[in-house]
Structure 1
Amino acid sequence: MARNFRVYYPALPLVAEHAPHRAAFVGDADGRCQVFVWDREVGSARQVTDRAAGTVRAAIDPGGTTVWWFDDDLTGVGSWRVCDIDHPEHSTEALPGLAPARHAGLAMAADGTAVIGLSDTGGMTLFRRTATGRVDRISRVSGYAHLVDVDPAGQLLVVGTDAASPTAVTVLTGDGTPVAVLPGSATGRVWPLGFAPGTGPARLLLVVEENGEYALATWTRAGGLARHEWRFDTEITASWYPDGTRVLVRQDRHAGSHLYCVDLSAGTRTEVPTPAGSILDAAAWPDGDVAYVWTDSTTPPQIRSVAGVELPTAPDDGPGDEAVSLAQYCRRTQVWVPGPAGPIHALVAAPADRTGPLPAVFLVHGGPFQHARDAYDPLVEVLVRTGCAVVRVNYRGSSGYGAAWRNDFRAGVGLTQLEDLAAVRSHLCERGVIVEHRVALWGSSWGGYLTLLALGVQPDLWRLGVAINPVADYAAAFAAATPAIRALDTMLFDGTPQEVPQRYADSSPTSYIDRVRAPVFIAVATDDVRCPPAPVERYAEALSRRRVPVKLLRTRAGHEDFDARGHVSLMQAVLLFMQRHFDGVRDEGTPVALAMARPTD
């Protein structure tokens, strides 16, 4: 059996403000993410990039004449390139003469002037590039920061940092002079989102955390920060409608999503009709239509339009002959489990043709502030077809359940989350849903970190672990990570490894390595700067010396791999490891499992 596998980048096309029939988007090209341009009037899409590692960062100027894309290496260091939309095969450096750096934001004024943020180990530098190609340095910001937006007139810029810091939001003039600083706090975070389109005084849209809820706010130079009346009990993000008076709000709530149109002038909030499931991206386009990326547990992501407008696809996109509805062979349930800090929400999928206690794989989401969604995940499909139940837990720290849940790390970083995983496991075992001695963990990034931590802290609970690009030693990873990751770690632990060393040690899998007994599959990426591979390799070597069954796979990639072949090869290797060490997987397999597990030629 042969299957074609595609990659999908869950982001809407970027539409040119003054030429809404033109857009740039990231699509699949022979199993890799590449940049395409789309012209609605012509009715076709053309490929712009053809890089071996794929390309996922792109932009289009307001006039719809120039496409931007970020030419980075596997570590995320690179430079912006530009090309004429009608001649994408010819590109030039957007900022000639500058050393490669990390992307830290790109925004454009109405006349096509671009402001670019580039970061290095010491901070972020802002540059301006005019429509004629002249490049000027604007200013330098120390420490972690990112450019959020520039107002339509090009007169004001907004920079964001840690949403809980005293400098959460900084507004600058076009020459880099600070105009306003909007502080955040541990219980009052502030997120800048973007300036309103149109003419007139600049208005900045923000989300603020207040009394455990989330609210919209706007800032103007004359009036300062103004909070609006609407409150949301779980996390939101928002963007402007083209008229500059309405706001499109996307709320993540209890593993699903909702869209709302908030009219700031009329004082109304109206829900935008969308199917049940998850919305991964949404925007009000220049013609007023609302487009969104939608998915649910049985449907791969789709770009939809409220008005039903035909939307772009890559030349080879579309459902393949292998497409089968997951609903035909999968039972899905959602459970709320009593936990140490309140009810824990979990999503459970199981083979439709099997009853009684099943072997189970807990898919541990990353983040830490992400969440398991009512969304299609091909890994769930593969594991269900092997005969396993798949459990996805929205432990404390997950978004979609309110500020108190998201910010709860009371038992320690990682250790708090393990309490919730254990509670859900116990609940499902007691009710005969899963087999107690056949429960595995599988996670990527922060989910991989939790997997390794659980195998040492809770060795009696887990039969096997799969950790993809994990953290094994938090202090060592901190030393080698990017400024953005260091800022996240400092926030999580309330200090650096030098300031609070015991907290980092208590939350590191290496501290519990002598207690690990379960077989472990570990994959590391050679160019991963978010979860550096060296400490993880040392962890795997230490397990091997202790005669713990361990498989270490090294991949030539960064933290995220945008090549479908890499994902398929990884799944093949993991399934073979599970067939050897996890006695819950069907030995005979199924057509999909066999196809996935068969070594490549």
Structure 2
Amino acid sequence: MLKPPDFSDEALWKQRFRTPKILWAQLAAAEPQRGLVCTNASGVNQLYAWSVATQQLRQLTTHPEGKSRGQIAANGRYVFYLEDQQGNELGHYVRVPFAGGKPQDLTPTLPPYASTSLSEARSGRLLGLIAADATGFQLYLLDQTSDDQLAPPRLLWRSPALCGGLTFSADGTVVVVATTERTGTRAFSLLAWETASGKLICELYEDDTSFSPIGFSPLAGDQRLLVTSDRSGFNRPVLWQPASGAVVELPLADVPGELDVWDWSADGSQLLLCAVQQACYRLLTYSFVTQQAQPLHQPQGTFGSGQFTASGEVLVTFSNADQPFHLLALQPKTQETRTVLAAGSAPPGRPWRSVTFPSLDGVAIQAWLALPDSEPPFPTILHAHGGPTSVTTEVFAPGCQVWLDHGFAWLSVNYRGSTTFGREFERAIWGQLGHLEVEDLVAARHWLVAQGLAQTDAIFLTGGSYGGYLTLQTLGKYPDLWAGGMADVAIADWFLMYEDQAETMRGTQRSLFGGTPQEKPEAHRAASPITYAEQVTAPILVIQGRHDTRCPARQMQVYEAKLRSLGKAIDVHWFDAGHVMGHNEQNLRDQETRLRFVYQVLQQPQR
């Protein structure tokens, strides 16, 4: 039964949005009594210095739009992050002392750049970053003395192709980068250099295989690098020796699904593994001595990150439908679990369950279903995650529970392009974006109706980033199936996107399409929601960031103007930040806008 919208300040859904949570935590590699935590305890995602012995957190950043990315130096004396303007993700890396203080620019002589790759050698003697600008991707190294003095950045390599995954050997003598220069697609090869001479020493490349660097052995002089390879059809860890080029498979064939390595124990004897199959998590440790993997005793839900402690415990961030992300310690020997850093107390929510249905072409699609406490059929929210190389897993989601509170059903679809379902599933969309994913969302609607769960005239699409894009694309390609759509920080025109976005995202776009808009015009046109503007019939709500460099403002302004010129119903709300808004109250206001939009649509006469 649909309930009246609750906009009161005490509403349960508002309490969930305001609940403090631990988004992630990181220990300093060589000083494990110091750590870095990201939490929204202040109401905005910020970085905090973490004293592990006392469990005290001290706020380091105060950015109005939030700061959700950063890392702590190996020696624990500094914290690094990208200093940008109003969340536009363009600027310079800076460091601030662990004790607090003014940010120091690491690269004052460079022009502003976009970057998601900063790394430090465990020895502390080298920093490295990949800076992306209009000229492409540049790999810079910064020598560092024992008293933390930094030399000016020196350019080691540049490429026009998408690059990332920067990592150093423990002693800093070797650096490895993942690049799509070989393939021109989303498949990566790896390049390794000697840092002192700048000599390229090895490349890891195989036809139709993508590699991703995880991390070198923590032992000085040990040049083994853990890498994931999707050769088997799923991402699996292998050991690569850049000096010799040798690749060694780990005996983990009996662990199903995607398998990632989260940490390497300080003595080099164990690995912390995260297996994900059909969007469900399983944690294990692997011993190089016994060559066996042992599962950890764990709660069921989603794990965001994990690492070993000096005492042998495993620290993990954890969440499920009822619990916000918080930091747990798992004890492999005793199977005990304890809370290290707690989240706030949140009102209970409705449970999720995994469902599977056939897409329009028969391919099996997994999704997460949650139902309100009443009888079907329900007005329904059909959700698409961002990415596309991401996945929805069971997690504390205020944006889901708000709809369940009001009597809506909710379904989040892991469409083709999602991770953890194998290489073929993930790569199916390459070169033809906005086609198979849309068919998967349409199939989800058909399944909901066939199951008697969804009210056919009250099904709404929603999603953010790539999910926002799929919302607009589906509304245009299958216009008669939807009551409306809500798109956050979305893509509307891939041509204008390419002109205005940061170089990191241009590289991503080229890799997904197999070329630029000029090289692949038909694919870009078919993938752009603006192409189908005339077909749109359902009302649209868009919430977009003015300073977004991933999904820039101009392409959405043009889309809005096009729909208005055609007499279509579209309402665009702008916020003063970039692509990611880590602000509790802003997120709450945006959700209130969505609620008002949906209830307004449901009160209108049927088309």
Query: TM-score with structure 1 length normalisation?
Result: 0.90
For residue 4 of structure 2, what is the aligned residue in structure 1? none
Deviation at 1:203, TM superposition (A): 1.2
* Amino acid across the alignment from 1:226: V
Aligned pair partner of 1:275 in 299, 302, 306 = 299
Please give the alpha-carbon distance, in whole angstroms, between the structure 1 residues aligned to 2:59 and 2:143.
25
What does 1:153-164 correspond to in 2, within 5 Å?
153-162=171-180
Deviation at 1:59, TM superposition (A): 2.4
SS where residue 424 of structure 2 aligns?
A: helix
2:150 paired with 1:134: yes
Please give the alpha-carbon distance, in whole angstroms, between the structure 2 residues aligned to 1:83 and 1:333.
43
Equivalent pair of 1:102/1:119 in contact (CA under 8 Å): yes
For residue 124 of structure 1, what is the aligned residue in structure 2? 138
Please give the alpha-carbon distance, in whole angstroms, between the structure 2 residues aligned to 1:168 and 1:341.
33
For residue 274 of structure 2, what is the aligned residue in structure 1? 250
Aligned pair partner of 2:24 in 6, 9, 12 = 12
Please give the alpha-carbon distance, in whole angstroms, between the structure 1 residues aligned to 2:106 and 2:64.
21
Deviation at 1:104, TM superposition (A): 4.0
Deviation at 1:505, TM superposition (A): 0.9
In structure 2, relative to structure 1, the CA distance for the partners of 1:310 and 1:113 (3 Å cut) is farther
Equivalent pair of 1:235/1:402 in contact (CA under 8 Å): yes
* Amino acid across the alignment from 1:558: G
Please give the alpha-carbon distance, in whole angstroms, between the structure 1 residues aligned to 2:233 and 2:454.
35
Aligned pair partner of 1:319 in 340, 344, 358 = 344
Deviation at 1:567, TM superposition (A): 1.0
Deviation at 1:9, TM superposition (A): 7.5
Deviation at 1:8, TM superposition (A): 6.7
Deviation at 1:450, TM superposition (A): 0.6
In structure 2, relative to structure 1, the CA distance for the partners of 1:268 and 1:164 (3 Å cut) is farther
SS where residue 460 of structure 1 aligns?
A: helix
What does 1:460-479 correspond to in 2, within 5 Å?
460-479=480-499
SS where residue 20 of structure 1 aligns?
A: strand
Residues 506-528 of structure 1, C-alpha deviations (whole Å, 9 max, x = no match): 11111111110000001221111
Residues 72-95 of structure 1, C-alpha deviations (whole Å, 9 max, x = no match): 222112223333323x03443334
SS where residue 13 of structure 1 aligns?
A: strand
For residue 5 of structure 2, what is the aligned residue in structure 1? none
Aligned pair partner of 1:165 in 162, 169, 183 = 183
Equivalent pair of 2:20/2:43 in contact (CA under 8 Å): no
For residue 432 of structure 1, what is the aligned residue in structure 2? 452
Equivalent pair of 1:126/1:138 in contact (CA under 8 Å): yes
SS where residue 590 of structure 2 aligns?
A: helix
2:205 paired with 1:183: yes
For residue 244 of structure 2, what is the aligned residue in structure 1? 222
Once the two structures are overlaid, the 10-residue window that deviates more, 527-536 or 49-58, is: 49-58
Deviation at 1:383, TM superposition (A): 0.9
Q: Give unmatched runs, 5+ long, in structure 1.
A: 585-601
Deviation at 1:138, TM superposition (A): 4.1
SS where residue 62 of structure 2 aligns?
A: coil
For residue 24 of structure 1, what is the aligned residue in structure 2? 36
* Amino acid across the alignment from 1:178: L
Deviation at 1:233, TM superposition (A): 4.6
Please give the alpha-carbon distance, in whole angstroms, between the structure 1 residues aligned to 2:353 and 2:181.
35
* Amino acid across the alignment from 1:229: P
Equivalent pair of 1:128/1:138 in contact (CA under 8 Å): no
In structure 2, relative to structure 1, the CA distance for the partners of 1:537 and 1:150 (3 Å cut) is same
Deviation at 1:121, TM superposition (A): 2.3
Please give the alpha-carbon distance, in whole angstroms, between the structure 2 residues aligned to 1:91 and 1:14.
20
2:172 paired with 1:151: no
Equivalent pair of 1:7/1:563 in contact (CA under 8 Å): no
* Amino acid across the alignment from 1:319: G
In structure 2, relative to structure 1, the CA distance for the partners of 1:477 and 1:9 (3 Å cut) is farther
Deviation at 1:583, TM superposition (A): 4.5
What does 1:381-400 correspond to in 2, within 5 Å?
381-400=401-420
What does 1:129-528 correspond to in 2, within 5 Å?
129-131=143-145, 132-136=148-152, 137-143=154-160, 144-146=162-164, 148-162=166-180, 165=183, 168-175=189-196, 176-185=198-207, 187-220=208-241, 221-222=243-244, 224-231=246-253, 233-238=256-261, 239-307=263-331, 313=341, 318-320=343-345, 323-326=346-349, 330=350, 332-339=352-359, 340-352=361-373, 354-409=374-429, 412-528=432-548
Deviation at 1:16, TM superposition (A): 1.9
Once the two structures are overlaid, the 10-residue window that deviates more, 453-462 or 293-302, is: 293-302
Deviation at 1:501, TM superposition (A): 0.9
Residues 429-459 of structure 1, C-alpha deviations (whole Å, 9 max, x = no match): 1221111111110111111111111111101
Residues 459-492 of structure 1, C-alpha deviations (whole Å, 9 max, x = no match): 1111100111111111221222223322322232
For residue 598 of structure 1, what is the aligned residue in structure 2? none
* Amino acid across the alignment from 2:246: G
Once the two structures are overlaid, the 10-residue window that deviates more, 44-53 or 551-560, is: 44-53
By relative contact order (CA 8 Å, sep 6+), the higher-ranking structure is 2
Equivalent pair of 2:114/2:504 in contact (CA under 8 Å): no
Once the two structures are overlaid, the 10-residue window that deviates more, 355-364 or 238-247, is: 238-247
* Amino acid across the alignment from 1:156: V
Percent identity, aligned pairs only?
Answer: 23
For residue 592 of structure 1, what is the aligned residue in structure 2? none
In structure 2, relative to structure 1, the CA distance for the partners of 1:100 and 1:494 (3 Å cut) is closer
Once the two structures are overlaid, the 10-residue window that deviates more, 364-373 or 227-236, is: 227-236
For residue 89 of structure 2, what is the aligned residue in structure 1? 76
Q: Give unmatched runs, 5+ long, in structure 2.
A: 1-8
Q: How many residues align?
A: 574
Residues 416-438 of structure 1, C-alpha deviations (whole Å, 9 max, x = no match): 01111111211221221111111
Once the two structures are overlaid, the 10-residue window that deviates more, 233-242 or 547-556, is: 233-242
Deviation at 1:174, TM superposition (A): 1.1
For residue 570 of structure 1, what is the aligned residue in structure 2? 590
Equivalent pair of 2:132/2:504 in contact (CA under 8 Å): no
Please give the alpha-carbon distance, in whole angstroms, between the structure 2 residues aligned to 1:254 and 1:415.
22
In structure 2, relative to structure 1, the CA distance for the partners of 1:571 and 1:392 (3 Å cut) is same
Equivalent pair of 1:214/1:233 in contact (CA under 8 Å): no
In structure 2, relative to structure 1, the CA distance for the partners of 1:8 and 1:190 (3 Å cut) is farther
Equivalent pair of 1:55/1:71 in contact (CA under 8 Å): no
Once the two structures are overlaid, the 10-residue window that deviates more, 384-393 or 111-120, is: 111-120
* Amino acid across the alignment from 1:81: V
Residues 34-88 of structure 1, C-alpha deviations (whole Å, 9 max, x = no match): 11112133442211121222222322222222333332222112223333323x0
Please give the alpha-carbon distance, in whole angstroms, between the structure 1 residues aligned to 2:471 and 2:379.
17
* Amino acid across the alignment from 1:295: S
* Amino acid across the alignment from 1:190: F
SS where residue 89 of structure 1 aligns?
A: coil
Once the two structures are overlaid, the 10-residue window that deviates more, 407-416 or 558-567, is: 407-416
In structure 2, relative to structure 1, the CA distance for the partners of 1:19 and 1:411 (3 Å cut) is closer
Equivalent pair of 1:399/1:406 in contact (CA under 8 Å): yes
Equivalent pair of 1:38/1:312 in contact (CA under 8 Å): no
Equivalent pair of 1:104/1:119 in contact (CA under 8 Å): no
What does 1:92-103 correspond to in 2, within 5 Å?
92-103=104-115
What does 1:536-547 correspond to in 2, within 5 Å?
536-547=556-567
Deviation at 1:169, TM superposition (A): 0.9
2:134 paired with 1:111: no
Please give the alpha-carbon distance, in whole angstroms, between the structure 2 residues aligned to 1:72 and 1:44.
27
Deviation at 1:246, TM superposition (A): 2.0
Please give the alpha-carbon distance, in whole angstroms, between the structure 1 residues aligned to 2:22 and 2:58.
19
Please give the alpha-carbon distance, in whole angstroms, between the structure 2 residues aligned to 1:392 and 1:145.
30
Please give the alpha-carbon distance, in whole angstroms, between the structure 1 residues aligned to 2:249 and 2:21.
33
